Amino acid sequence: MRAAIAGASGYAGGELLRLLLGHPSFEIGALTAGSSAGTRLGEHQPHLPALADRVIQDTTAEALAGHDVVFLALPHGQSAAIAAQLGEGTVVVDCGADFRLESAEDWTHFYGGTHAGTWPYGLPELPGQREVLREARRIAVPGCYPTSVTLALFPAFAAGLVEPDVVVVAASGTSGAGRAPKSHLLGSEVIGSVSAYGVGGVHRHTPEMEQNLAKVAGGPVRVSFTPTLAPMSRGILATCTAPAAPGLTAAALREAYETAVKDEPFLHLLPEGTWPATAMTAGANTAVLQVALDERAGRVVAVAAIDNLTKGTAGGAVQSVNLALGLPEELGLPLNGLAP
């Protein structure tokens, strides 16, 4: 199968290429981008010598036509126009936010402008979603933060073990902010520093978390979400807490998580007492989980670590595409990470 990547010079594009180079079912077709069109890929992704001499084309429907799969790793708002020009038989995967939300109202509140629509949501671990993805020809890849938070909390909500009043504080590596040069993302600024941003309910990933958890909970869920930027290139550590349901025991909580991850190829529940670190997941499509009951504070604390570019973006995208194409879900996706 041939795969095209729009946005090949960015971080998500580079990670898609890294994964597809190791995937036995894909041949890499067109590579396109905006301002990088006309240059060689090696200038932008020097860690991929296998593709160093490939020339990047302009992102147009013509360049992307004729592929089995088209991955769109474009700035928000640019996917709809391109997708409309691609054949219905093509699997089109949007790594941006355009088609994630179901609520047009939430879209307008958080992103502004008009909602482009809703595509099947590319998180196979969400109960029932694997079956949806097997039939999908359009896939909305989840945001990196919502991936981590949903995976951390869905077992608790699915089993009715927590109240729907969630507090999340997550640390992300800098690659989540993309490759466009900005002063506050300079190495000099981020090295040696952890900072908060998008505080107070304004981060765009908030309604996506609420949408996911509400489906599992069977009712509305409130999320207080604070993202922070940490001095590392990759990784998200999401610390998620919610009030424990009355009478919850640590054993019941553990059992719910063990059950939830049992058949999941990319969820790894750590042994009791060991807590996730983002370094456990670098380059892997794995989410590493742990959970505890804080009886003193009356809260469940669930922590997830993922690689924001792999499970949080490109790996999650390939996992969903595997399902859509009838391939084994794990095919070509690293379970193991790169450490130290």
> Between residues 1 and 279, which has the closer beta carbon with respect to a copy of itself?
279
The answer to whether residue 192 forms part of the interface with a copy of itself (CB under 8 A) is yes
Q: What is the DSSP letter of 54?
A: P
> Between residues 8 and 303, which has the closer beta carbon with respect to a copy of itself?
303
User: Which of these ranges, 78-86, 116-124, 194-202, 312-320, lies near a copy of itself under the rule CB under 8 A?
Assistant: 194-202
User: Which of these ranges, 67-75, 83-91, 196-204, 317-325, lies near a copy of itself under the rule CB under 8 A?
Assistant: 196-204
- Among residues 4, 144, 267, 305, the one annotated as catalytic is 144
Residue 150 and residue 172: Cα distance in Å, rounded?
A: 16
The answer to whether residue 96 forms part of the interface with a copy of itself (CB under 8 A) is no
> Between residues 116 and 287, which has the closer beta carbon with respect to a copy of itself?
287
Instruction: Give the total of residues touching a copy of itself (CB under 8 A).
Output: 93
- Pairing label, strands 195-196, 91-94: unpaired
- Shortest Cβ distance from residue 94 to a copy of itself (Å)? 22
User: Is residue 144 flagged as an active site residue?
Assistant: yes
Contact between 28 and 64 under an 8 Å Cβ cutoff? The reply is no
- Report 31-90 residues binding a copy of itself (CB under 8 A): 42-43, 45-50, 52
- How far from 166 is each of 169, 212, 250, CA to CA, in Å? 10, 13, 19
- Report 204-223 residues binding a copy of itself (CB under 8 A): 206, 222-223
Three-class DSSP category at 274: coil
- Shortest Cβ distance from residue 62 to a copy of itself (Å)? 28
Q: Which residues pair with 71 in a beta bridge?
A: 5, 93
> Between residues 80 and 292, which has the closer beta carbon with respect to a copy of itself?
292
> Between residues 258 and 295, which has the closer beta carbon with respect to a copy of itself?
295
> Between residues 96 and 176, which has the closer beta carbon with respect to a copy of itself?
176
- Pairing label, strands 222-229, 195-196: antiparallel
Contact with a copy of itself (CB under 8 A) among 7, 96, 120, 173 = 173
Residue 112 and residue 116: Cα distance in Å, rounded?
A: 11
The answer to whether residue 182 forms part of the interface with a copy of itself (CB under 8 A) is yes
Residue 104 and residue 125: Cα distance in Å, rounded?
A: 24
- Sign of the torsion angle spanned by Cα atoms 309, 313, 318, 319: positive
Q: Which string of x and - marks every residue 294-333 that binds a copy of itself (by CB under 8 A)? A: xxxxxx-x-x-x----------------------------
Residue 33 and residue 59: Cα distance in Å, rounded?
A: 5
Phi and psi based region of residue 117 (left: phi greater than 0; alpha: psi -120 to 50; beta: remaining): left
∠ CA 336-142-93, rounded to 5°: 90
Contact with a copy of itself (CB under 8 A) among 268, 312, 315, 333 = 268
- The structure tokens listed for 121 are 């949501």
Q: Write out the catalytic residue numbers.
A: 144
